[in-house]
Chains A and B, each alone.
Chain A
Amino acid sequence: MRETRNIFSWLSKAEENSIFQDAQKHVEETYRTVVHFSEAVKAFIEKDLKAKTAAIEMVRESEHLADMLRLKMVDELSESLFQPPDREDLMHFVLTLDKIADWTSSAARILGFIEQEFPQSVLKNMSSASDIIISSISKLKDAIEALAKNNFKEAIARYEDVDRLEHEADEQKKLLVEAIIHANLEPVGLVLSYQLAEYMEGITDKIEDTAHLVRRIAIRAQ
């Protein structure tokens, strides 16, 4: 509060808030990316090839839009003459946030290659992993909204939720890999399913990385 009547401080704070508003749009788009991926997983489980292909295409489109938003935010952070006090953190935040959509798009690409049918044990674990990803991205979205409203305690609390879900995702990956190993899949199916498990766990890692940055910014701002 002390520096916000000073015009330079106010402008830099306003830039920061503006970046956060864009970050919220980026999170919305990233959220849509993850939701479309989840739909692709569900369509794959239900053996609906057409729906799976359509959902994967939606993942690509959302990821592209998220990329455009990232470029805009990086441009704002590098070109503006009034820099937010936590410019380095914000830049890191924007770039880390973008990785969520990147990893989701990569996971969707792998899913697109899979043609082999998987046993129920594998599909069940894939579905659980997808649900964890959706919960995790929702909590991240809440954390960023709280930060934009200067509700720092709420932002930190949502980080803790994301952290817990990331641990769950680690456990879920173990279960999924176990199911894959015991599924006696063909080599191609084995490699692709393992890669998919890696990427799905990686998505929650990236979500947790972003939430960690949100927490750091919230603690500094308090």
Chain B
Amino acid sequence: MHLLLIYLTVLMGLGVGWSIGANDAANSLGTAVGSKVRSLRQAIILISVFGFLGAFLQGSYVVKTIGRDIVPIDELDKNLAAYLALVASFSACSWVVLATYWKMPISTSHSIVGAVAGAGLAIGAPIKWKVLLDIFICWIFTPLGSAVLGYVFYRIFRNLFVRIIPGKYLNKVVSMLVTISGCYVAYSWGANDVANSVGVVAGAGILSPNVCVILGGAAIIVGIMTWGYKVIETIGSGITNLVPIMAFSAQLASAINVHIYTVCGIPVSTSHSIVGAVVGVGMVKGLRVINLRVMREIVVCWLVTPGVSGLMSFLILKLIMLFVKA
């Protein structure tokens, strides 16, 4: 296997990891910063620690799915596997960069799954269509499941806390719960999303799964520290109109939802999950969460992503194979 190929593949993967840390870290403790429960510095530290823990302790479940269960990359010829890994990483990374430039809220999970499948098709590798179908179904249920959980949790907690917690401790307890649930969101996010950056690297046998999750987790932390803090600051400036109990309910719902999928090895969008949870919480109060015009745009982004990244990796790998064969 060429050394350059290995370096490029790992670099692409780390690039995706950086992007995940930069853009999605704010989904966990951004609302805590906004409601002044935690300072920006505290939030960065907590997200980094728990995000990395999630990646390190349970990241391997989804790494296995992306690395082996969609396309059996580990069963391919080593060079072919490396090319597949490189192209899939490159396509996912490119689509993420383009989406950022075009201001589209895409999912890195959808992007990498599409890219892996597209690359597998390009080289005629056996695609596990049943696994892909299962993943696709889970994508649909991700926001729905967290919306239901968010709805149920908020209905329960908004009355329960007021009844069982003495008034003078209520704010402190809720603040603590917002922090804990935010850390749980960061943990489940790290556990599920690290595979988006290093899943193919592990699948191609370039690095062991354990080293992969450590590197992926580190790339995510670098993303948080170099860019993610700005996004957290923006979220914290009052973008979400969530009072602490709503934030706690939404975060808990999203974290549980994503964690379940993580343990099952399914790569899902943590962004879709948190949005679903916030929608569920908002429905309890009868609030308008997302207007239909905006909803249409967001659904289009979600649907288009696996297709576009899949097509990109298919075409790029087909092109590369012409030169490699020659």
Contact = CB atoms under 8 A, between A and B. Distances in A.
Contact of A5 (B106, B230, B287): B106
Given A4-B100, A18-B294, A81 B240 contact: yes
A14 to B, nearest CB: 4
Contact of A1 (B100, B105, B291): B100
A4 B301 CA distance: 13
Contacts of B294: 11, 14-15, 18
Interface residues of B, number: 41
B134 to A, nearest CB: 24
Given A81-B240, A82-B241, A4 B103 contact: yes
Interface string B236-247: 011111100000
Contacts of A81: 240-242, 278, 281-282, 287-289
Contact of A83 (B230, B231, B241, B272): B241
A3 B230 contact: yes
B181 to A, nearest CB: 16
B235 interface: yes
Given A4-B100, A6-B24, A7-B27, A15 B291 contact: yes
Contacts of A13: 103
Interface in A1-45: 1-15, 18
A222 interface: no
Contacts of B288: 76, 79-81
A147 B267 CA distance: 38
Contacts of A119: none
B101 interface: yes
A9 B240 CA distance: 9
Contacts of B227: 2
A87 interface: yes
Interface in B218-271: 227, 230-231, 234-235, 237-242, 271
A80 B240 CA distance: 9
B103 A76 contact: no
A8 to B, nearest CB: 5
Contacts of B290: 11, 80, 82
A83 to B, nearest CB: 5
B237 A85 contact: yes
B239 A83 contact: yes
A5 B235 contact: no
Contacts of B230: 2-3
Interface string A79-99: 111111101000000000000
Contact of A7 (B19, B103, B241, B275): B275
Interface string B71-112: 000000000000000000000000010011101111000000
27 contacts: A1-B101, A3-B235, A5-B100, A5-B106, A6-B105, A6-B231, A6-B234, A7-B27, A7-B271, A7-B275, A8-B26, A8-B235, A11-B294, A12-B239, A12-B240, A79-B287, A79-B288, A80-B288, A81-B240, A81-B287, A82-B239, A82-B240, A82-B241, A83-B239, A83-B240, A83-B241, A87-B238
Interface of B: 19, 23-24, 26-27, 30, 96, 99-101, 103-106, 227, 230-231, 234-235, 237-242, 271-272, 274-275, 278, 281-282, 287-291, 293-294, 297-298
